Structure 1
Amino acid sequence: MSQESMPKDTVILHQTGRAKHTPALSPFAIKLETYLRMTNIPYKTVHGKKKSSKGKIPWIEYNSQAVADTTFIIEYLNKERDVDLSKELTDEQKAVGKAFQRMVEENLYWTLVYGRWIDKDLSASFRDNLPRGFMMDISMWRNKGQVQKTLQSHGIGRHSRDEIYDIAENDIRALSSFLGDKQFFFGDEGTEIDASIFGLMAVFAYEMQDSPQQKLIQGDCKNLLEYCERIKEKYWPDWNNCIMGDGPINAFPAVPENDPTVLRPAKEAAKKGAPANDTKATVDGEQDEQAKEADAPADGVVNGDAGAEEGAEKIEANAEEDKSEVKAEAANGESAKVDETADEKVEDKPEETATENAAEEPKESAEATEEKKDEKVEEEAEKAEDAPAPTPEEKSEKPEEKPEATGESDTVNDAEPKQDESQPQENGDAQPDEKAEEEAAK
């Protein structure tokens, strides 16, 4: 879609599709989209594999300006839109909120990456969010090593499985203790820190099935699950339209047909029965009214940031790219096969040539055998010429012998090709009377 057709003053959120039970696999995508809903900033989502100039997903375009990394995106939009969800907080609260955000995004998050890619007991639930197929399995297997290196570089990958989940438990318990019975982390209204914490808590609670993090959130730290439900109810009334559900995932990126946040061209929107994108979209007031009528957020949806997640979310997009490359190679292979077929009409096939060569060997052997037989025939003829002519008495005593066409290797008939019966036979097969006359003449 050209820049001219982009809705003005509307955030275009680039992300990598929806997940089965959350609006994104990336907690950073959920964080950014939740922030847009909290601030009522109109937005639309574009699901694909296109990355920002920093090589990160998600990223945004706003009035032709591209911005990457969710932290910088929020700072940018706060200035451009003159909004600040934390303006009522004290400096101390802002400092505490920043510390919790860093704990969640730079420490607790990596326990999620470990569970998805390394822990064999949990990786299956992550795999279910990607299309099935041999090539995807190969990409997952290959990229697992890349994730392991990233975890090693971070430092958390040097710990044992129990130690990693112990880190996760301590962080989650700290969040639960600070939240207590409050509606949000700093009172009755959501702030940027709530968007950040909700992004990861939602993935743990709804997407990481049977993980230690999920069991803790649903058990001892149940106030975090209730916290997630409150945010869903207030800011995500269309949650079920922005997830894929329990069915199989057949495409990457995966996008529900009834997702109200997707940026659609006018023609496609008309086919699906959805309203075309309003290129004259306004902010807050008018958009709010339209959203209330549709029982949906102002204008769209976002997906996760590859900031801290660069070692994993980036791989999810690369998996499909690998698959596309293999398909292209397969297509080239088919084209090559067509060319080969055309060439075979002019040139001999290698298999046929080999077969012909193999057939010529016994043929040459047969010719050699015939030559030997011819030599033997000549020898027999010479012996017949040297032998004395038979007397009349011998002729009468000896019955006339006719050569037999038996096919035995020591007979003349088997060595020589068949001749016409009307013609006299050569050499030793001549009639006895003719031999006698020849001898008399000599």
Structure 2
Amino acid sequence: MTSLVSQAVSVELGPQVPWPENVSFYQPYESDQILLPDCANCLAVKTFLHMNGLNFLVELRTNAEEMSPSGRVPFIQVGAFLISELDPIIAFVNTKGFNLSENLNEIQRSEMRAYMSLVENILVNAELYICWCEDTVYSQVTKKRHGSIHPWPLNHLLPWKRRQEIKSRMKSTGWGKKTMNDVCDEVITCCQALSERLDRQKFFFGEKPTELDALVFGHLYSILTTNLPVTRLAEIIRGYPNLAEFCRRIDETYYRESDFEEV
């Protein structure tokens, strides 16, 4: 389905058409609605677009998830087309002549994709786990935020329903029986691999950013700055100084100067 959408968009808005000035970027409200996994996904896509120097207008919607063609956020609107999630958005941007990894050779591109898969398999699941499976975070944060836009009793029923769906998904990916300690061990493994790959470089593949840099920043920075009653994931990341400095550097370059105050 994703490839068919990308092909249709390419035909309608191919490389001969410049990046439109009226691209809209849709996401939930950050102050009282968005959850850590969605925040990370939205920040990764925003950062990717910024790294390409592309303009877009952020549109906040309480029902952004329902508006998305895939049921997930973020998504962008380009003319009559809606394109959701990082990979399809990367594919579309590439059709416009923007390619962050164009200078990498095939071995480096394969390595980049492997690290992106590592992030998606570990950090994404860890974010889902802590928001939906960790009881304290679910009761104090997730339930309230996910139900905030709905009246009673939907504000109780819908978070419960989504929690069951997430738990079923976690079970299917082998994360269903993990404890918080197990999740932390997985995150340590991921951060160790990322830290070793980054080493003392500015970006993961040298002096220029790639899609991997946008993805890693979106997830690490969101974990570091999201205020949760359980902070073990953020503490793990802070244990890798070069990853924390990487996040600070990306933030200063593409957003603003950051002191890593929790929000």
TM-score (norm 1): 0.48
In the other structure, the counterpart of 2:91 is 75
Q: In the alignment, is residue 17 of structure 1 matched against residue 29 of structure 2?
A: yes
- 1:5-404 mapped onto 2 (5 Å cutoff): 8-19=20-31, 25-48=38-61, 49=63, 50-80=66-96, 82-123=97-138, 124-126=140-142, 131=148, 135=153, 136-207=155-226, 209=228, 210-219=230-239, 221-237=240-256
SS in 2 for 1:202: helix
Measured in 2, the distance between the counterparts of 1:65 and 1:134 equals 34
Matched residue type, 1:14: Y
SS in 2 for 1:14: strand
Instruction: Indicate how the Cα distance of structure 1 residues 54 and 126 shifts in structure 2: closer, same or farther if over 3 A, else same.
Output: closer
Measured in 2, the distance between the counterparts of 1:125 and 1:226 equals 28
Contact 1:122/1:211, CA 8 A, preserved across alignment: no
Instruction: Indicate how the Cα distance of structure 1 residues 56 and 128 shifts in structure 2: closer, same or farther if over 3 A, else same.
Output: closer
Contact 2:187/2:236, CA 8 A, preserved across alignment: no
In the other structure, the counterpart of 1:256 is none
Instruction: Indicate how the Cα distance of structure 1 residues 208 and 105 shifts in structure 2: closer, same or farther if over 3 A, else same.
Output: farther
Measured in 2, the distance between the counterparts of 1:121 and 1:23 equals 15
Contact 1:23/1:239, CA 8 A, preserved across alignment: no
Measured in 1, the distance between the counterparts of 2:236 and 2:258 equals 23
**C-alpha displacement of 1:129:** 5.1
Instruction: Indicate how the Cα distance of structure 1 residues 52 and 122 shifts in structure 2: closer, same or farther if over 3 A, else same.
Output: closer
**C-alpha displacement of 1:85:** 1.0
Larger radius of gyration: 1
**C-alpha displacement of 1:18:** 1.8
Contact 2:35/2:145, CA 8 A, preserved across alignment: no
Matched residue type, 2:24: I
Matched residue type, 2:174: G
TM-score (norm 2): 0.78
Structure with larger RCO (C-alpha < 8 A, sep 6+): 1
Contact 2:93/2:99, CA 8 A, preserved across alignment: no
Contact 2:74/2:85, CA 8 A, preserved across alignment: yes
Matched residue type, 1:115: I
Structure 2 spans left out of the alignment, 5+ residues: 1-18
Identical-residue share of aligned pairs (%): 22
Instruction: Indicate how the Cα distance of structure 1 residues 235 and 74 shifts in structure 2: closer, same or farther if over 3 A, else same.
Output: same
1:87-144 CA deviation, whole Å, 9 max, x = no partner? 2222222111110101111332101110111112443354575649864344323432
CA RMSD of superposed structures (Å): 2.8
Matched residue type, 1:214: A
Contact 2:41/2:73, CA 8 A, preserved across alignment: no
Give the paired residue count. 233
Measured in 2, the distance between the counterparts of 1:8 and 1:109 equals 31
Measured in 1, the distance between the counterparts of 2:200 and 2:163 equals 40
Contact 1:12/1:60, CA 8 A, preserved across alignment: yes
1:182-226 CA deviation, whole Å, 9 max, x = no partner? 11111122211100111110121111544322111112x122111
Matched residue type, 1:166: D
**C-alpha displacement of 1:232:** 0.6
Structure 1 spans left out of the alignment, 5+ residues: 1-6, 247-442
